[in-house]
Amino acid sequence: MATAILFGSKPMSERAEKPPENVCPAVPAANGQSVRQLSLSGAAANCGKGPGQTDASTAGEHTVRTASPEELQWLAEQSRRLESATAEEILQWAVERYFPRFTMATGLGPEGCVIISMLAKIEPRVYVFNLDTGYQFPETLALRERIAEKYGIVVDLQRPELSVEQYEALNGGPVYKTDPDRCCFDRKVRVLHRVAANFDAWATGIRRDQSPTRANTPIVKWDAKFGLVKISPLANWTRKDVWRRIMEEGIPYNPLHDQGYPSIGCWPCTRPVGEGEDERAGRWSGTAKTECGLHT
Ligand code: SF4
């Protein structure tokens, strides 16, 4: 049995709190260290693979790699070149270039499920994780199990240091009600910073037609916030393309999509959308907030 399958078939109880196994070979003593420890050590800065020199800067408690002008130019060239490539070809390029320092973050939306189905064929050992805020729908967590059964890929759960109970007790109640930007920062962005320290590149499922803020998403770009190369293999897919692939291949998806939720995040900040509404209209509805901060 391939190593990939062994990796993917570990019980979730064992995987949930462990650091990624796909860490850079140059990072010393990775085994047994937590992601946070690696982040604080700044070890990831040793593994830049792009052309030209890379450097690292510190943002708060996390070390964030920075890109050289040569790397930025090279990434822009690659992005232009990959505009006409298929999503599979883009992922293949990312794997060849960055694996095992290549990861994927997914909220288990339809796009993420499609990318997982592709990774299962291209390189199932890619470390795939979910930012588990503690506020996810039970249906989302159940989908994770179905993905594992179908593809042998266990989507790891990366959690904030404080449980929901601890976090709300510390803040006098649910922060999503009073300051959703801070809640998203504490329960998503901060966690992604912690994970990012172990990788050079990440894949996301964002599409240009999802919203005006995503309309100019390049296939490949430098993500300065997290110090990673950001790859969006479905950037030029439409919503219809995604659902056609899901139906054609029987890819598991969240049953809430059949109940009026085209875009699903945390349950306190997601509502079903009405006829003719934008597909992300149900996210942070009634506020000016449109993004959690991972992609802005
Ligand atoms: Fe908090 Fe809502 Fe952001 Fe989830 S989506 S982290 S509940 S503010």
Ligand 1 atom with the shortest distance to the CA of 187: 6
In this structure, the residue with its CA closest to atom 3 of ligand 1 is 184
How far are the Cα atoms of 21, 58, 111, 124, 186 from residue 129, in angstroms, in the given order?
A: 12, 24, 14, 13, 17
Please name the residue whose Cα sits nearest to atom 6 of ligand 1.
Answer: 184
Q: Rounded CA gap, 176 and 136, in Å?
A: 13
Largest CA distance in the chain: 54
Catalytic site residue 292?
yes
Q: How many whole angstroms from 296 Cα to the centroid of ligand 1?
A: 15
| Tens digit of each residue's pLDDT, the chain (296 residues) | 333 322 222 322 333 333 334 333 332 222 223 332 232 223 333 333 334 334 555 545 667 889 999 999 999 999 999 999 999 999 999 999 999 999 999 999 999 999 999 999 999 999 999 999 999 999 999 999 999 999 999 999 999 999 999 999 999 999 999 999 999 999 999 999 999 999 999 999 999 988 788 899 999 999 998 999 999 999 999 999 999 999 999 999 999 999 989 889 999 999 888 888 887 777 877 777 777 767 76
C-beta of 283 in contact with ligand 1 (< 6 A):
no
The pLDDT of residue 11 is 29
pLDDT the model gives residue 60 = 53
Q: How far apart are CA 268 and CA 287, in angstroms?
A: 13
Helix axes 239-249, 110-122, angle to 10 degrees: 60
Cβ–ligand 1 contact at 184 (below 6 Å):
yes
Q: Tell me, what's the pLDDT at 3?
A: 31
pTM over 0.85: no
Contact 160, 186 (CB under 8 A): yes
Q: How far is the CA of 215 from the centre of ligand 1 (A)?
A: 23
* Ligand 1 close to Cβ of residue 191 (< 6 A): no
C-alpha–C-alpha distance, residues 295 and 220, integer Å: 13
Sequence-separated contacts (24+) of 13-19 with Cβ below 8 Å = 15/154, 15/156, 15/157, 16/156, 16/157, 17/159, 18/156, 19/198
Instruction: Tell me the residue ranges of DSSP E strands in 35-97.
Output: 55-59, 62-66
> How many alpha carbons fall within 13 Å on the CB side of residue 206?
25
Tell me how far apart the alpha carbons of residues 68 and 233 are, in angstroms, rounded to a whole number: 23
d(C-alpha 188, C-alpha 254), whole Å: 20
pLDDT the model gives residue 46: 31
Distance, in Å, from the CA atom of 123 to the CA atom of 192, rounded to the nearest integer, reads 22
Q: Which of 132, 162, 183 to mutate to test the pocket of ligand 1 (most atoms within 8 A of CB)?
A: 183
In ligand 1, the atom with minimum distance to the C-alpha of 188 is 6
How far is residue 206's CA from residue 283's CA, in Å, rounded to a whole number? Answer: 15
